[in-house]
Amino acid sequence: MSPEPTTLLQGTLDLLILKSLATGELHGLGISRRIEQITGGTFNVKPGSLFPALHRMEEEGWTSSFWGDSENNRRAKYYRLTKAGRKQLESESKRWGRISWAIAQALEA
């Protein structure tokens, strides 16, 4: 299945999804587009990665889902953060901050 860089990528993807949901509930495509937007187009998350991550995060209890209507009246499955999800976002952001700072330091040295 996924090769070595999984941990980093998976962690990154999880953090990006959590972040995209921080401002409110979104459906799968919405999450994908929001990530594209907030990363300035760097990350284009394909459904093949997005959906497994969404389902896994729901099983972890970070998100919850419900069926609702989209902006142009299509039925879509929406995701929102739970309390545990918010906590996870907070701690993951801090961790990520530390890691990126450390890596930036390392590269400047």
Partner 1 sequence: MPFVSKTRSFLRNLLSTRSVEQDLDQEVRSHLQLLIDENIRAGMSLKQAERAARMELGGAEQVKEQVRQARFGNWLHSLISDCRFGLRQLHKNPGFTLTVILTLALSVGANTAIFSLVNALLIKSLPYTHPQRLGTIYTRKAGSTMVSEDRHNLDGERWELLRDNVPALLSAVSGGTSGVNLKADSRVQYVREGRVSAHYFDVLALQPVLGRNFSEDEDRPHGPKAAILSYSLWRNTFEADPGILGQPILLKGEPHIVVGVLSQGAVTPSNADVYTALQPSREGAGGGSNFDVITRLRDGATWQQADAELNRAWAAQVQHIEKHNPGVRVTYFSVPLQKGETESLRPQVLALMLSAGFILLIACANLAGLTLVRMLRRTSEVATRLALGASLWQIQRQFWIENLLLALVGGAVSIGLGFLALKELFLLLPEHFLPVASVPVDARVLAFALVVSVLTSVLFGMLPALVARKVDLRSSMANRAVAASVRVRQLLIAGEVALTVVLLAGSGLLIRSLIHLETLPPGFNPNGVMVAKASLDDVRYHDPATFRQLLHESIAAMRQIPGVQNAAVGLTLPFERAVNDGVTISDGKEAGTQDGADLFYVTPGYFETLQMPVLAGRVFTDADGTDTQKVAVVNRSFARKFYGGSNPVGRYINKDIVIVGEVADVSVVSGLEPVAPLMSEQAMYVPAAQVSAKFLSIVHVWVQPDWIVRTAGPVEGLTSQMQRALAAADPNLPASGFYSMKDLLARTLATQRIYVALLGAMAALALLLSAVGIFALVANTVAQRTREIGIRMALGSTIGQAMVQIGRSGAIASVFGIVFGLALSAGALRVMRSVIYGVGVYDATTVLLVLLTIAAITLLATAVPTLRIARIDPARTLREE
Chain residues 10-29 in contact with partner 1, contact rule CB under 8 A? 27-29
Q: Is the dihedral of CA 37, 38, 42, 46 positive or negative?
A: negative
The H or E element spanning position 80 is strand 75-81
Site membership for partner 1, residue 80 (CB under 8 A): no
Comparing CA positions, the residue from 31, 12, 36 lying closest to residue 20 is 31
Which tokens is 8 given?
């980093």
Contact between 51 and partner 1 (CB under 8 A)? yes
Q: How far is the CB of 99 from partner 1 (least distance, A)?
A: 23
Binds partner 1 by CB under 8 A, chosen from 12, 43, 53, 92 = 53
What does the block give as tokens for 67?
A: 């069926």
Q: How far is the CB of 91 from partner 1 (least distance, A)?
A: 13
CA angle 33, 20, 93 (to 5 degrees): 135
Among 6, 70, 91, 100, which residue sits at the site for partner 1 (rule: CB under 8 A)? 70
**Chain residues in the site for partner 1 (CB under 8 A):** 1, 27-29, 46-48, 51-53, 55-56, 58-61, 70, 72, 74-77, 84
